[in-house]
Amino acid sequence: MKEDAVLSKTDGRVHRRIENRDRVLMSAVRLFSQGVWPTHEEVSTASGLSLRSIYRYFETTDQLILAAIHRSYAVLSSFDQIPNLGRGDLDSRIVAFVDLRLDVYKRFGTTYRMLRQMQDRHTALPGELLKGRLQHRLQTQAHFAEEIKAGVDTTALDILVTPESLDYFTMTLGLTLDETKITIVKTFRQILRIPEKL
C-alpha cells in the first residue's frame, strides 16, 4: 500500500515534469511564430513557469532553441502531409500541393523567417533548415512521380513554394494568398504542361 502511494507520487512528478517541459517548448514555438527569438526569461513569462524551472529543463539558450526547433518541426509535420499523396488527376494534385504549401506558410512563415535570420548564430540551424527542404523535395517527387517519370523537371516547383518565394509574392509584390495561389497554380500547369483552363 505504501509502495503504491510512493509510486503514484513519483509518477505524478514525472508526469508534471513532462507536461511542464512541453509547456516550455510550446511557449518557445509560439514566441518563434510571433517573431520573437526566445530566451529563458521570455519563455518563463510566456509559459507561466519559473525561470528556475526553465533552466532545470534547458541549461543553455542553445539547448532551449534546438529543442524548440525540433518541436516546431514536429508541429509542422502534423500539418505538412498531402492527403492522397501522388493520387488523382494532375490538376487536383497541383491544387492540393499548392494549398498545403500555402497553409504551412500561413502557419509557420514567421517561424521560418526567424530561424533563417538566426542561422549564423546557431550552428544546428542550417542543418535543420536543410532537412526541411529535403523533406519537401521528397514530397514533391512522390506527389509528381508520374510526371518525373515522363521526363518533366520538377525542380522549379519546389522553388516556387519555398518560404522565401512565398515571402516575395506576398511581401514584395503585395499579393494576397489567393492571388499567390492563382499565380503558382498557373505556373505549375505551365511547367507540367497542362493547358490553362478558361
Question: Average pLDDT of 25-42?
Answer: 84
- Collapsing DSSP states into helix, strand and coil, what is residue 170? helix
Residue among 164, 155, 160, 81 at smallest CA distance from 119: 164
pLDDT at 198: 41
Q: Determine the distance from the C-alpha atom of residue 83 to the mean position of all C-alpha atoms in its chain, rounded to a whole number.
A: 17
Confidence of residue 139 (pLDDT cuts 50, 70, 90): confident
Rounded Cα–Cα distance for residues 66 and 60 (Å): 10
Q: Average model confidence (pLDDT) for the chain? A: 83
Least confident piece of the model among 24-28, 51-55, 104-108: 104-108
pTM: 0.72
Confidence of residue 126 (pLDDT cuts 50, 70, 90): low
DSSP string covering 8-70, please? HHHHHHHHHHHHHHHHHHHHHHHHHHTT----HHHHHHHHT--HHHHHHH-SSHHHHHHHHHH
